[in-house]
């Protein structure tokens, strides 16, 4: 097959969908790999490395014209006419963005949104949400540490003792757990909250304290279990008690990393304006749900309504970071992991003779298929 790797052109997107490592493996499987000139430059993969790995360096029209096009993010409107109708597109295509899915379908693409892969053991090696969220959690802590005007570890010096920073992590999925691990390595004291009871043990095993908000009704207990490993919206009664607990913890916090998400819905508001007002001057909130909150149409909100998309603002003396693409700030490793995810995905849709084979009996293929034959595909996740 002819496999194309166009350059990513969205603002701030420095990742690339294939690396010399994956190109080499694709070329070894007798595929013709065409990488757009400069596609890997921002992730520090030069054209020469792709060429050495067996790729041809081509222009955008050639890369987009391939049988299979690998992308990091969904193509922009002006790129859609460059595709061959009926071609395969695989990438992080925002499956819950219905308008975008309709545009990909109208372009005649067989589009696969890798974010929709089930969270199963077999799907682990192509789990793009995990590979990228892991990086976001790590980078969020480093960004907070850079902005925080004090030390993170406890220091005993001749000039006196400095207390360890208190970090609160809200949402302990992949990003949150990595944030805990990273903050721990930097010597902080950490507490974390999540709706799902299963994560208590994971939080504690990383050396953090679980902020316990007990469930009081069967409705709360059932909602908390979530679905497919993901959280579901919690009843208002529990959210209210959680917000009181979070308010008390955040009054004492120095750094907050918030990561709480619910697939296909606006991110829950966990840090109210009143809580920000009560926080210490100089403290930092890194809101990884930025751009996905209830205020999203206004360019604001994440887990905190004061977050501004892709900006760092100071509100009531608190620094609030609303960066929406932290993985792109670790472009080389983010690309390496993402490219391996895509390589493993391709194995599911290319048969042993190197031909395209879309088998909808495969649960991963069926879950990720977003558009085909001009239609957007509805499935259990996007019912």
Q: Looking at beta carbons only, is 88 or 192 nearer to ligand NAD?
A: 192
**Shortest distance in whole angstroms from residue 105 CB to ligand NAD:** 25
Q: Looking at beta carbons only, is 48 or 240 nearer to ligand NAD?
A: 240
Rounded distance between C-alpha atoms, residue 383 and residue 13, angstroms: 30
Q: Which of 6, 75, 268, 302 binds ligand NAD (CB under 6 A)?
A: 268
Marked catalytic residue, from 51, 73, 119, 315: 119
39 binds ligand NAD (CB under 6 A): no
**How many of the chain's residues bind ligand NAD (CB under 6 A)?**
32
Active site residue 119: yes
Marked catalytic residue, from 130, 131, 258, 335: 130
Q: What is the largest CA-CA distance in the chain?
A: 71
User: What residue spans of the chain are helical by DSSP H?
Assistant: 20-28, 47-53, 60-64, 98-106, 128-147, 174-185, 199-205, 218-225, 236-252, 273-278, 331-349, 363-368
Both tokens assigned to 88 = 């395969």
258, β-bridge pairs: 170, 287
Burial of 359 (0-12, 13-18, 19+ CB in 10 A): exposed
> Under a CB-based contact definition with an 8 Å cutoff, are residues 69 and 6 in contact?
yes
**Shortest distance in whole angstroms from residue 302 CB to ligand NAD:** 12
Marked catalytic residue, from 47, 73, 230, 382: 230
Q: Which of 26, 234, 369, 377 binds ligand NAD (CB under 6 A)?
A: 234
Taking CB atoms within 8 Å and a gap of at least 24, the contacts of 345-353 are 345/90, 345/112, 345/114, 345/117, 345/126, 346/3, 346/26, 346/68, 346/90, 348/126, 349/88, 349/112, 350/1, 350/29
Residue 279-308 contact track with ligand NAD, rule CB under 6 A, x = bound: ------------------------------
Per CB under 6 A, contacts with ligand NAD among 90-129 are 119-121, 123-124, 127, 129
Rounded distance between C-alpha atoms, residue 255 and residue 26, angstroms: 43
Report the phi/psi class of residue 94: left, alpha or beta, with left for phi > 0 and alpha for psi in -120 to 50.
Answer: left
> Under a CB-based contact definition with an 8 Å cutoff, are residues 37 and 47 in contact?
yes
**Shortest distance in whole angstroms from residue 269 CB to ligand NAD:** 9
Per CB under 6 A, contacts with ligand NAD among 150-179 are 170-176
Active site residue 130: yes
Q: Looking at beta carbons only, is 69 or 175 nearer to ligand NAD?
A: 175
Q: Looking at beta carbons only, is 61 or 240 nearer to ligand NAD?
A: 240
> Can you spell out the DSSP letters for 29-78?
TT-EEEEETTTTGGGT--HHHHHHHTPEEE-HHHHHTSSEEEEEEPPPGG
**Shortest distance in whole angstroms from residue 173 CB to ligand NAD:** 2
3-state helix, strand, coil in the chain (%, to 5): 40, 20, 40
Q: Which residue is nearest to ligand NAD (CB)?
A: 173
Rounded distance between C-alpha atoms, residue 240 and residue 260, angstroms: 15
Per CB under 6 A, contacts with ligand NAD among 245-264 are 259-263
Q: Which of 42, 100, 116, 130 binds ligand NAD (CB under 6 A)?
A: 130
Marked catalytic residue, from 59, 122, 124, 265: 124
Per CB under 6 A, contacts with ligand NAD among 193-232 are 193-196, 199, 229-231
Active site residue 148: no
Active site residue 42: no
Marked catalytic residue, from 15, 116, 127, 258: 127
Residues of this chain that bind ligand NAD (CB under 6 A): 119-121, 123-124, 127, 129-130, 133, 170-176, 193-196, 199, 229-231, 234, 259-263, 268, 270
Residues annotated as catalytic (active site), given as ranges: 119, 124, 127, 130, 230
């Amino acid at each position: 097959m002819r496999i194309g790797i166009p350059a990513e052109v969205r603002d701030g997107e420095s990742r690339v969908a294939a690396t010399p490592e994956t190109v080499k493996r694709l070329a070894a499987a007798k595929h013709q790999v065409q990488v757009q000139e400069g596609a890997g430059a921002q992730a520090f993969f030069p054209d020469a490395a792709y060429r050495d790995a067996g790729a041809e360096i081509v222009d955008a029209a050639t890369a987009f014209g391939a049988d299979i096009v690998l992308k990091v993010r969904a193509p922009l409107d002006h790129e859609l006419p460059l595709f061959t109708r009926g071609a395969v597109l695989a990438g992080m295509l925002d499956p819950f963005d219905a308008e975008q899915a309709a545009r990909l379908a109208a372009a005649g693409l067989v589009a696969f949104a890798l974010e929709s892969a089930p969270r199963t053991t077999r799907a682990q090696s192509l789990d793009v949400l995990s590979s990228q969220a892991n990086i976001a959690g790590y980078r969020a802590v480093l960004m907070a540490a850079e902005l925080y005007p004090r030390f993170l570890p406890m220091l005993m010096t001749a000039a006196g003792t400095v207390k360890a920073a208190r970090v609160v992590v809200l949402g302990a999925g992949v990003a949150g757990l990595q944030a805990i691990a990273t903050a721990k390595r930097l010597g902080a004291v950490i507490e974390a909250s999540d709706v799902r009871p299963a994560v208590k043990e994971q939080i504690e095993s990383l050396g953090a304290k679980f902020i316990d908000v007990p469930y009081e009704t069967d409705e709360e207990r059932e909602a908390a279990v979530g679905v497919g490993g993901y959280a579901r919206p919690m009843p208002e009664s529990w959210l209210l008690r959680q917000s009181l607990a979070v308010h008390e913890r955040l009054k004492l916090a120095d750094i907050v990393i918030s990561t709480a998400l619910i697939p296909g819905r606006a991110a829950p508001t966990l840090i109210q304006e009143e809580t920000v007002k009560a926080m210490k001057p100089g403290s930092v909130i890194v809101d990884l749900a930025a751009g996905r909150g209830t205020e999203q149409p206004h360019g604001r909100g994440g887990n905190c309504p004061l977050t501004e998309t892709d900006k760092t603002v100071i509100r009531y003396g608190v620094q609030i970071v609303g960066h929406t693409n932290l993985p792109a700030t670790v472009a080389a490793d983010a690309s390496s992991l993402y490219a391996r995810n895509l390589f493993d995905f391709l194995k599911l849709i290319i048969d042993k003779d190197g031909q395209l084979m879309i088998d909808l009996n495969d649960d991963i293929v069926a879950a990720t298929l977003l558009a085909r034959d001009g239609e957007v595909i509805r499935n259990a996740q996007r019912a």
